[in-house]
Chain A
Amino acid sequence: MTMFINWGSREINLKIVYYGPGLSGKTTNLQFIYNHLNPELRSQLVTLNTKEERTLYFDFMQMELGEIKGHTPRVSLYTVPGQVYYAFSRKIILRGVDGIVFVADSQKSRMVDNLDSLLDLENNLSEMGQSLKRIPWVIQYNKRDLPRIAPVEVLQSKLNFYGVPYFESIANRGMGVLSTLKSIIKMVLSDIHTLV
């Protein structure tokens, strides 16, 4: 069971998870979205951090879209901790996920970390009976402003093996953040459209 349509309160609930290696910019994406939105349409941003301000468990916020045909889509956004040793936290956060944003670090030196994280994601999904083949997901190539980054064609050939939509971003300046989010919400909602 994943997506919950509440006929009583006229709400459609979606869960989007930001996945990717440590320090790739998942939390930065959420912070930008949080600051950008009208406070009346979003919850608090909850961050469960370590003392070193790295994500320990998850970041969370919820946002509300305007009414569509009498129903209000509510979107929960989560990030997972990127570091390898928080494997359990990642599994827990992925439960019930409707769509995924994979935030890749564009720096050449992080290519292996990106691949490891993507593999970890696929393993966790398959334990839930899901797969990157089926679930709606997009890739965000972040940190495009840094030196020594891999060209997009290289990132595409190594990471985007299913040809999902991709976005270039500089999350700390907000570039590419909102278009990524828009794209994944549309994919998830058109997915239920196909199902019903």
Chain B
Amino acid sequence: MSEQITCTECGAGNAPGSKFCNNCGTRLPLSTHTICPNCETPNPRNRIYCDNCGARLVEEHILPEEKPEEEETYKPSSANLSFFSLPTRKPGDTGELAPGLPEGMEAEKLEALDSAVQDDLPKVEELTGQGPTADLPDWLVESNAEPIIKPPEAITTEHYFDLLKRSIEEETGEEATDEDIAATAASLPEWLAAAGVTPPTPAEEIDEPQTSDTVEIPDWISLPGDDKPDESEPDEADEDDLQDWLAELGPPATDILASPLGGQGDDADQEEDHLADWLAELGPPNTNILSQPSDADAAANLPAADLPEDRSDWLTDLAPPDTGPLAESDAATPTADVDDVDEAEEADNWLASLTTPDTGPLAEADVTDDSEATIISQTPFDEDEGGWLTELDTPDTDSLLDLRSDLEETLISRPEDLPGSDWLDDAAPAEPGAEEPESDWLATPLFADEAAPEEMADEAETEDTAVDLAQWFTDDELADVDAGEPEAAFDSTSDSLLARLSDFVAEDADIEPVESPTAADEDGVDWLADEEPEQPVDTDTAVPAELPDWLSDLGPGQETDDFAALNQLAGGDDALPDWFDEASGETDSDSGYSPEADLFLTGLLQSDKVDDASLDWLTAEEKSTAPELAESEEAEAAQPELVSAEAEEPLSEEDPAWLTSLFTTALDETPEISEPAAATEPESEEAEFEEAELDALFVEAGIEAEMEDTAVTVEMSPDTPSEPDELAHAPVLAEADDDDTWFSQTLTETDQPLPDWIEQLGAAATDEISSETELVPSDELPDWVADMRPELSSEAGSLLPRASTEDDALLADIPDELVGVELPEWLQDVGVGGDEVEIPAEAGDVTGWIESESRLAELLALDEEDAGSGSDWGAVLGELPPSAPVEERLAEAELPEWIEALKPRELTTEGPESEAEPEPEESGPLVGVRGVVEIAPIISMPRAMTVPKAFVVTKEQQQQASLLKQLSLAQPTPVIAPGQTATKTAPVLRLILVLLLAGAIISGLLGPDWLATSLPTASPAIEQLHTAVQAAAGQPVLVAFEYTPARAGELSPQAELLVQALADNGSQIVTISQAATGTALAATLTEGQNRVEMGLLPGEAVGLRQLGSCLDTTCTSIFGRNLTGEQQQALADIGLIILLTGDQDSLVNWVEQVGAVSGVPVAASITQALQPAALPYFASGQLEGMLAGLTDTAVYRQTYLDAPSEQIMDLLNAQGSAQMVAAILLLLGALIYSISATRKKDKA
């Protein structure tokens, strides 16, 4: 039976299949029946199995089997649609759309289930008491947040110009010159031209942009080399107008190296939020080694607001002392307020002093150099970026250098073609006398006529990439200088730079040490204000007032940016651009050490042109990391003076802290030196050593004379060991063929006591270089750990972070059990810094190393117990609550197979299932859209007709059929009640009854009249009958004999009585009857009387009707039979009708059809059984009298005639006897059966 659909609104029941409620019209839910696919029986939709046949109604969703790769093609109608297609139903199925999954398999439930399963699994922390990666080095764990290596995604301008050059050469067949390239590039769009790659423009056009609005040019592009310094468009608008690729090149790009430093603190925090807890607990990724030395720099570069509040302690410890002041004075510094026009102007000044504001000449000279200069000037200042620089710059240093060499040749050959530029003049120090010596070292590699570029080329060839970097850097300056007045510009530039460096070095003496950040906060502003470079500022070349954030951070006077710039040059920051790392990838290690930076320093120190001012500038740049530095233009303009004034002041002991960080940041990029943050108060010996080394450096570079001022500065800061070290190491770096061994060589050469921080570095860095000093040999480490160990000579390895001493200690703590143990694949990916952290496919996979760790913990706990006070391990493990064995707990955590089967392929070792790209839609509104689900037919297809099975009759069925036939044809047998003997009792009882009744009748007839001794008096009916008979005296009386011989025994006596009475009254008896036998009886009973026989009257009521009509009038015929004259006369004179009948119909017809029509009185002589039917007619007067039964006959005879005859009395006696016996038998029978039934009940 189908169930009704109950309306949800009114609750009314509706027929199955109804769509709307019959009562309220509300749409009913879909059909509640699911057609069984097996027997087609409709089942309620909540059924899983068919009610009829038990077949499953809901399809089981089994994960598709793995298909071979060659079969993994897109099949829109089958496999691929199973995941994305709409639910379908079978043809003819009116049930609800089949759910894609069983209820228990829905996504939410699965998630809940997964979470429940995960909850059931023991947590790693519970098992080990530590984080799941506690045994891993921090740098390995923390590398999860961001990938270490980001491939460049944008084509650099070098590529572009290379293409231009090639295209020109193909067209002209000649070697393309820079002019040709510039001319071709002149067709560049404005935005590209504004990016610093604009072709050379006429001089008059150069001036115009200075006052024009460079709305379309992003600040970060136009600012460093743009010739439109008066750009005033808001940076927001500029950023909005950025092209995509420019936007990618811009500040928003991220760098993994910068992320832990706070530059992307917010992002990092957000990313950490998305990380698992255990991953988040691991701290910043992959930066423990690399970032520690650079954190200080990065933190110094960061606005305080950007610094992550929850940064790790190591980061806080490594933060430079000036970070606090920076944070406090953040709002007041131009770093934080990018919209400040003054600050922008300061940035302009700063840019004027640091780099070239005039891009046009640079572009004319060498767009490549210009871009590089832009990079150099931008990179250090943008702590939020780094990656964009990677994208911007080409990793191919060779091509860059080649192009630079070409340009260099061009510049050397035609220096006059370069447009002039005043920026170098603007950046020049106030003392014109310092120009000559300052610019020598920079000019050396740039000018062929002065410094013999051949030598530079030779150096580039012999000194490998390190020399190339130095050349490259100098090429920036070269380009700038070439653009205008080469010599003067370069002199001024170098002077400016060196002067600022000197200033910063000199001012470092006032900086608070690292260990006292609070003091630094207090004193930071002072020394910052004091050390502001006092360089003349050319307001004409000022950059636009409104700068983007990142560029504002680069603004002049922001010593943090300057510091970052220098830091960037030193290559010791995490924010170091990747291109910078990649450029040195061949020679550097994993820490991102930039040999270019070293070479830059090398070149800087080797340059004959380097003077004190240059070193001061460099020092000032380093020192500019202090955020407390004032940003006033006056301070910047007065920088040379300030440097000179403060040059004599010795550096304080605390001052070198940040500088130490700075320097060690530079060194940090080399794997050998990565822990400078721990540098404390250096000893005087170390200062001397550093000074000596610096001297040696300058001696080797041939710039001893020029470095005197710097040396003085160094001497004035005997407590700043890092700065001399840095400078001292620079030539070593330059000379070292293998950058990885330079430090060790240096140590060997110097053979002097090293400061603590260097010793610390030595333990961590130098040991990593040489395999023999590794804490854990690579061959003993697991492969994944060994793989993560930076490759000393590989480019990728150069970008990998280096393990610090702490990490090495961690590695050293790795038990032997873990050595060589394969980590799960997902963890390996984590360690490498993959983009995705995969969840362990199986719990068992996770347990490998955890189990080892837990075992180790147990062992350590035991050791601790034995030793009393154990190590940290013991302390940690001692706090752990006792727990069940790990093996047991992990065993419980095994996932069921079905859950494993549900796990996405991406999380399994099988890897994601490759899906072929679906074909796009070719027609319809979804043209071009891929993966369109096929349209299901609206009308369900007709059900396939199934051929009925052939009817096969088995032998068993045939036997059953024959048996059924026999039973159906068999004679019915009487049903005999249980316990009855019907066949025996019934005939006997029947015979007994017959005998008793017959005996009573016979005894009554033949026996004495013992019963009928007296007769009752005549009843009114009898009296009225007698009256009627008397009233009809002398008239013909129609006597109807309407009874058969069967009633003759009761009615014949009455007939005889009435005939006698009529005869006594002299009435003629007219006999008539509608029964054949009645006529015979009439003839018999009226024989000898005055009678008229009317014979048989057929036609029932119709005949009687016709007879009645004839009684009123004279009829010649009745019912087609002609009447004789006597008959007609008799009928016409009939005075009474006496009806002798025992039949009710006859009584009714005579009364209603004859008596009522003719009006002749009717009297009835009936049987006693018919008396009840005659009484109503008698009561109504339709019967004049009535005589019923033998009793009335005897009474009538006794009352109105003579005494009843003996025959009547015998009949009455026999009748009475029979009636008494019958009554007794009825009572007896009722009593017997009642008792028997009661007994049966009692027995039951």
A associates with B: no
